[in-house]
């Protein structure tokens, strides 16, 4: 126990020492730049987006930058626990913040009217948009979110993503995309606010959290390191063993990774059984 604790603090100190030297531009940052441009163009001439929603937007953007461009991204190639921090930021911090911000109506205003109409019609009617319509349903979004999270942590795929930047970028895109749809339903944000009532929303968030716990337990109790990539990496660093690194990563997934799920669960319990006896799910309000 003491050795794991010492290793944890050594790992944190190593990450802190690189805070000002290992910033980078991730290829997926191109998507973020497009989002920012559309946000700016779509906001011209329209009323205020609301203080809380604007704050959530910028907090979500900042979290994406921290996860993909800061030393967290650079150090995630060397330490499994840092990589898990990156995944927690993408799946349970950036995505729910962007969901609360509801940027899509504003971003769509950046497009010409005819293109907007064609896009909305295509999503509603065309065959190519069938996967998107599936994700608009709670069950589809839950299954995809849990599957994406679980499949990418299969050791062979995880190691492959670490060795191939293109696959790694695709992993991040699928993480954020699946998480956006999941948190829309879990938090009850329009236009998905009525898709689930509060008891179902409670089960929805709880079961998803439990799946992450199962993976965390597997990582924590494994008698040996499961990811060959980090075994080789940490052999050159000294100090932190690959098994300790994996155990710390399990703790990151279990505790910080459960915070947003817990918030969604408490919100569902309060609205289901609280004194207000509310029957309508949470709606994002403009301040």
Encoded tokens for 85: 């921090």
* Tokens read off for 142: 């839950």
Nearest to 249 by CA among 285, 210, 222, 283: 222
Look at phi and psi of residue 188 and say left if phi exceeds 0, alpha if psi is from -120 to 50, else beta: left
Residue 149 token pair: 């999270």
User: What SS3 state is found at 10?
Assistant: helix
Contact 224, 137 (CB under 8 A): no
Integer Cα distance of 81 and 59 in angstroms: 23
229 exposed, middle or buried (CB, 10 Å; 0-12, 13-18, 19+)? buried
For residue 209, give both structure tokens: 């959290």
Residue 190 CA to its chain's centroid (Å):
19
- In the structure encoding, which two tokens stand for residue 47, read together? 């009323």
* Residue 106, C-beta contacts closer than 8 angstroms, at least 6 positions apart: 39, 42, 43, 46, 49
Count the Cβ atoms, other than its own, within 10 Å of residue 208: 20
Using a CB cutoff of 8 Å and minimum separation of 24, what contacts does 21-28 make? 21/71, 22/70, 22/71, 22/74, 22/75, 23/69, 23/70, 23/71, 24/69, 24/73, 24/74, 25/69, 26/68, 26/69, 26/73, 26/169, 26/172, 27/165, 27/169, 28/68, 28/169, 28/172, 28/173
- pLDDT for 200 equals 93
108 in Cβ contact with 123 (< 8 Å): no
How high is the pLDDT of residue 104? 85
Q: Cα separation of 79 and 273, whole Å?
A: 43
CA distance 287 to 277: 23
- Which H or E element spans position 49? none
- Tens place of pLDDT for every residue, the chain, 287 residues? 445 555 555 555 555 555 556 666 767 777 888 888 888 888 876 666 678 888 999 999 999 999 998 888 888 888 999 999 999 999 999 999 999 999 888 888 888 888 877 777 767 776 766 777 777 889 999 999 999 999 999 999 999 999 998 999 999 999 999 999 999 999 988 777 777 888 999 999 999 999 999 999 999 999 999 999 999 888 766 678 899 999 999 999 999 999 999 999 999 999 888 655 544 554 544 44
Check if the beta carbon of residue 43 is closer than 8 Å to that of residue 106. yes
CA torsion angle for 51, 57, 62, 68 (degrees, to 10)?
180
């Amino acid at each position: 126990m003491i050795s794991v604790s010492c290793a944890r603090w050594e790992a944190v100190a190593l990450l802190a020492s690189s805070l000002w030297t290992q910033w980078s531009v991730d290829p997926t940052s191109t998507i973020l730049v497009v989002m920012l441009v559309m946000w700016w163009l779509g906001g011209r001439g329209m009323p205020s987006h609301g203080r809380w929603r604007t704050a959530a937007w910028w907090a979500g953007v900042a979290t994406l930058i921290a996860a993909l461009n800061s030393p967290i991204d650079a150090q995630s190639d060397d330490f499994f626990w840092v990589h898990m921090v990156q995944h927690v930021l993408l799946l349970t911090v950036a995505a729910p913040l962007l969901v609360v911000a509801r940027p899509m109506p504003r971003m769509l205003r950046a497009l010409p009217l005819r293109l907007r109409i064609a896009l909305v019609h295509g999503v509603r009617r065309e065959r190519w948009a069938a996967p998107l319509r599936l994700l608009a349903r709670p069950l589809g979004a839950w299954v995809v979110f849990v599957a994406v999270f679980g499949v990418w942590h299969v050791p062979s795929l995880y190691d492959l993503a670490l060795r191939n930047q293109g696959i790694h970028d695709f992993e991040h895109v699928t993480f954020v995309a699946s998480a956006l749809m999941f948190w829309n339903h879990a938090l009850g944000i329009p236009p998905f606010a009525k898709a689930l009532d509060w008891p179902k929303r409670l089960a929805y968030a709880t079961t998803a959290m439990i799946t992450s716990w199962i993976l965390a337990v597997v990582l924590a109790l494994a008698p040996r390191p499961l990811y060959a990539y980090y075994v080789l990496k940490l052999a050159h660093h000294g100090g932190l063993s690959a098994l300790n690194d994996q155990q710390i990563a399990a703790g990151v997934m279990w505790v910080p990774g459960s915070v947003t799920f817990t918030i969604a669960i408490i919100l569902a319990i309060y609205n289901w059984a609280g004194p207000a006896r509310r029957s309508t799910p949470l709606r994002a309000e403009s301040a």
